[in-house]
Amino acid sequence: MTDDLLTLARDTALAAGELVKRRRAEGVTVADLKSSPVDVVTNADRESEALIRSILARARPNDGFFGEEGASGIAEQDAGTSGLTWIVDPIDGTVNYLYDIPHYAISIAVVEGTPDPLTWTALAGCVLNPASGELYTATPGGGAFLGEQRLAVAPAVELSQALVGTGFSYSSQTRAHQGRVVARLLPEVRDIRRMGAAALDLCAVASGRLNAYYERGLSPWDHAAAALIAREAGALVVGENGRPPSKEFILAGEESVVRALELRLLHFGV
């Protein structure tokens, strides 16, 4: 069953990827604002979600759906009756997409349960970067892949040698605090990367391009697929106080790096 779900997720992501890549070539403008003046949504976000939703509904009409944009541009949930829910980010990294920075993604996951990362069980996940064509996939116990290549996290390193990814909130007050944390962390690691697409950051952990990644404030669609991919590549993916990752906190990487980084972040008040 999980293989069939993954095939559907992959085929749907590829179809949406063609759409958003075409729209990017035609030119993109801001359609609306969400949580702040810098939290934008484009028409392509909405078109992508509508396409994904229609493909999934035709294939699996009884499944639930939870997408970032919704019909009115606001996240909304359809519960469904099958016990499965599709968690969708139609364009992760919309600001990158707006500026034509080729680092954005379509993220599609299917989970058993409700769209609550504290309780769901992820069954399949797919993350596609339409600009590069890189396609990440995973199923529980089936491993994580970039195309046909099986993925594994980078080997253990001392924290001082770790390349760490993070992201920032759309709230200016929260961003100011996050900046202070980064300023304290920076001298203690190899370097920091802030690339602007959480799903791709987690996939970078899975592929060994980052040693670790952390962030607060992610929504379920930001990490539903990519956390599974990172975990299947051997990463430890944790939330706050040992709980599963959620909006409160997510930290991923090789286990010893995660444990060392977690201590520093707690000390800095992340």
The reply, when asked if residue 74 is annotated as ligand binding, is no
**Phi, psi angle pair for 21, to nearest 5°:** -65, -40
Residues comprising the chain, all counted? 270
68 is in an annotated binding site: yes
Alpha-carbon gap, residue 41 to 80, rounded angstroms: 26
Tell me if 89 is assigned to a ligand binding site: yes
Local structure of 19: helix, strand or coil: helix
Residue 243 CB neighbour total at 10 angstroms? 12
If phi > 0 it is left, if psi is from -120 to 50 it is alpha, else beta; for residue 127 that is: beta
Distance CA 207, CA 140 (A): 17
Half-sphere exposure of 63 (CA within 13 A, CB side): 22
For residue 119, give every residue at least 6 positions away whose Cβ sits within 8 Å of its Cβ, in sequence order, or none. 113
Provide the 3-class DSSP secondary structure of residue 20. helix
Q: Could you give the CA distance from residue 244 to residue 241 in angstroms, rounded to a whole number?
A: 9
DSSP 153: P
Helix (H) or strand (E) holding 152: none
Phi and psi angles of residue 149, each rounded to the nearest 5 degrees, phi first: -85, 125
92 is in an annotated binding site: yes
The torsion angle over the Cα atoms of residues 269, 218, 154 and 9, rounded to 10 degrees, is: 170
Helix or strand run (H / E) with residue 90: strand 84-92
The residues annotated as belonging to the active site are: 68, 89, 91-92, 94, 222
Which residues are part of a known binding site? Answer: 68, 89, 91-92, 222
Which residues are part of a known binding site for Mg(2+)? Answer: 68, 89, 91-92, 222
